[in-house]
Amino acid sequence: NSGGWIGAFHPLGGSDHRDEQWHGPFPRLLDQISTSSGAVINITAEADIPEPVRRNAAAFATSKSNYSKVRSAFTECVFYAGLGYVDLCLGEFIMSLERSALASFHAVRPTNYYLIVQTAHARNDKSISSHVSAVLAPFTLRLWVLIFVAAIGASFLLAAQDRSAAGGDFETGSLPVLSGRAAWLGAM
């Protein structure tokens, strides 16, 4: 049951069709997988699942629903997958605690892989200037200037707002004093 999610579409609309008229990126991907691996992909109709299992799935999906007396077809699909009646549930649904308990073989989070590369020409000099330049190395000079100008600009804006407020830190003082304080605040 895809409902058109992840690019699985049927010309008659809906998601209850079990025929070869599905099109889009996901059906093409499944065709390529089945062709290259020799696997047979069958669309399991709900009628192919034994009646006691369907009853238990419907009861479970209704009782665990977030809405009163609403039957969740997606929870039923996960119920069938957990029992081995289907291998794949395609849908846009949240893996709730109930669904996770039914089918614990799913992946709910992407896994980040970190690649650490060591360069052959690592810098070994121990001078202070090399350490300072190493700290500044992630950004270009133009970006550092932009960051500095944005911080100073934001400081001037905050100082101007505070100057117009009664009881503010910058309420007293001339414009040059205000500018100096704002520049110092922005630089820090």
Residue 87: is its pLDDT beyond 70? yes
Sequence-separated (6 or more) residues with CB below 8 Å from residue 109: none
- Asked which of 34-38, 82-86, 168-172 is least confident by mean pLDDT, the reply is 168-172
- 137 part of a folded domain: yes
Q: Is residue 119 part of a domain?
A: no
Does residue 108 carry a pLDDT above 70? Answer: no
Structural domain containing residue 54: 44-102
Distant-in-sequence, close-in-space partners of 10: CB < 8 Å, separation ≥ 6: 17, 21, 22, 23
* 84 or 149: which leads in pLDDT: 149
Better pLDDT: 31 or 142: 142
- Contact between 141 and 133 under an 8 Å Cβ cutoff? The reply is no
Per residue in 59-76, pLDDT (tens digit) is 776 665 555 455 677 777
pLDDT at 64: 57
Q: Between the CA of residue 178 and those of 143, 150, 163, 173, what are the distances in Å?
A: 26, 17, 8, 6
> Does the residue 19 lie in any domain?
no
Report the DSSP beta bridge partners of residue 9. 23
Count of beta carbons in the 10 Å neighbourhood of residue 154? 13
- Decide if 91 is inside a domain: yes
Residues constituting the chain: 188
Over residues 45-50, mean pLDDT: 74
- The neighbour count for residue 99, using CB atoms within 10 Å, is 24
User: Ranked by mean pLDDT, which of 9-23, 26-40, 63-77 comes out on top?
Assistant: 26-40
Q: Token pair for residue 88?
A: 């794949």
Whole-number Å distance between alpha carbons of 130 and 126 = 7
183 with 135, same domain?
yes
In a domain, 126, yes or no: no
Domain count, the chain: 2
Q: Does 51 share its domain with 92?
A: yes
Residue 75 inside a domain? The answer is yes
Report if residue 4 sits inside a domain.
no
Which residues are bridge partners to 23 per DSSP? 9
Judge whether 113 lies within some domain.
no
Mean pLDDT, range 13-34, rounded to an integer: 76
pLDDT of 120 higher than 50: yes
pLDDT digits (tens, 9 = 90+) for 123-173: 566 677 777 777 778 888 899 899 988 988 888 887 777 776 676 666 666
